[in-house]
Amino acid sequence: MPEPAVRDMIEKLIAIPTVSRDSNLELIDFVADYLAGFGVSSSRVFDKTGTKANLYATVGPNVEGGVVLSGHTDVVPVDGQPWSTDPFKIDERDGKLFGRGTCDMKSFYAIALALLPEMDSLTRPVHFALSYDEEVGCLGAPDMIKEIAEHVPRPKAVIVGEPTNMQVVTAHKGMTTVRTTVTGFEAHSSQTHRGVSAVMTAARCVEKLSAMAQERMSSPNVDSDFEPPYTTIHVGLMSGGTAANIISRQCEFTWDIRHVPGDDPQVLVEQFKDWCAREVVPDMQKISDTTGIESVIQDQVPGLRHEPETTAEEICKRLTGNYSTGKVPYATEAGQFQDAGFPVVICGPGSIDQAHQPDEFITLAQVDAGTEFIRALIKDLSD
Q: How far apart are CA 43 and CA 62, in angstroms?
A: 14
Q: Of 355 and 369, which CB lies nearer to Zn ion in the complex structure? A: 355
Instruction: Please give the residue ranges that form the binding site for Zn ion (CB under 5 A).
Output: 104-105, 162
Q: Of 162 and 256, which CB lies nearer to Zn ion in the complex structure? A: 162
Q: Of 58 and 366, which CB lies nearer to Zn ion in the complex structure? A: 366
End-to-end Cα separation, the chain, in angstroms = 28
Q: Of 74 and 313, which CB lies nearer to Zn ion in the complex structure? A: 74
Enumerate residues 6+ apart whose C-beta is below 8 A from 364: 1, 2, 92, 95, 96, 97
| CB atoms inside a 10 Å sphere around CB 116 | 19
* 8-state DSSP, 260: P
Q: How far is the CB of 334 from Zn ion (least distance, A)?
A: 11
Q: Which of 104, 133, 134, 135 is catalytic?
A: 134
Q: Of 162 and 223, which CB lies nearer to Zn ion in the complex structure? A: 162
Q: How far apart are CA 336 and CA 140, in angstroms?
A: 11
Q: How far apart are CA 300 and CA 216, in angstroms?
A: 19
Q: Of 141 and 205, which CB lies nearer to Zn ion in the complex structure? A: 141
Q: How far is the CB of 357 from Zn ion (least distance, A)?
A: 13
Whether 104 is catalytic is no
Whether 74 is catalytic is yes
Q: How far is the CB of 101 from Zn ion (least distance, A)?
A: 9
Q: How far apart are CA 257 and CA 263, in angstroms?
A: 10
Q: How far is the CB of 162 from Zn ion (least distance, A)?
A: 5
Q: How far apart are CA 183 and CA 251, in angstroms?
A: 7
Q: How far is the CB of 16 from Zn ion (least distance, A)?
A: 16
Let me know: does 327 contact 306? Beta carbons within 8 Å.
yes
Q: How far, CA to CA in Å, does 236 sit from each of 93, 239, 252, 298, 328?
A: 35, 11, 11, 14, 20
Q: How far apart are CA 317 and CA 319, in angstroms?
A: 6
Q: How far is the CB of 333 from Zn ion (least distance, A)?
A: 9
Q: How far apart are CA 93 and CA 321, in angstroms?
A: 29
Q: Which of 74, 104, 256, 313 is catalytic?
A: 74
Residues classed as catalytic: 74, 134
